[in-house]
Amino acid sequence: MANTNYPTLNFPPIRLRARKASNGRTEVFDQIRGRWLVLTPEEWVRRHVVGYLLSHCNIMPQQIVEEYPVAINGMSQRADIVVLGNKGEHLLVVECKEPNVKIDNDVLSQVVRYNSVLGCRYIVMTNGIDSYCYCCEDGKYIPIDHFPHL
């Protein structure tokens, strides 16, 4: 789906099933959650990340959970994308931001907070333009130059 309202991202192109809602907003079908969602700038990035995980990272659709609930200090928050292993273990957490949001230490702190509960081996932060991937080893986050293949 070509969409001139959203920038080209540093991910391979994807095909989206889209429709116009009665309020005039564009909705896209989320194959993972099985429902229509309003296409926001952040959702544009999330759809690309999910597409990339499926096509390039050896991840099956049933391993991906979007808007994964994470309880932090008694407050319910949601990680954008969590990838689960075959035994339900948390492998990867991804924080998506809209393309105009800078990926900085605040975003890193956010995803590290989520991971303090989840215990994933890998974390990723992306705005679709810039992506940063880390491997967690012995409580330290080590930058890696690629999305993990799980």
Read off the pLDDT of residues 125-148 as tens digits, 9 standing for 90 and up. Answer: 999 999 999 999 998 999 999 998
Q: Could you give all domains of the chain from N- to C-terminal order, each with its CATH number? A: 18-137 (3.90.1570.30)
Read off the pLDDT of residues 35-68 as tens digits, 9 standing for 90 and up. Answer: 999 999 999 999 999 999 999 998 999 999 999 9
H or E stretch covering 43: helix 41-56
Cα–Cα distance list, 134 to 92, 94, 137, 149 (Å): 10, 11, 9, 13
Mean pLDDT for the chain overall? 94
pTM of the complete model: 0.93
Model confidence band, residue 149 (pLDDT cutoffs 50, 70, 90): confident
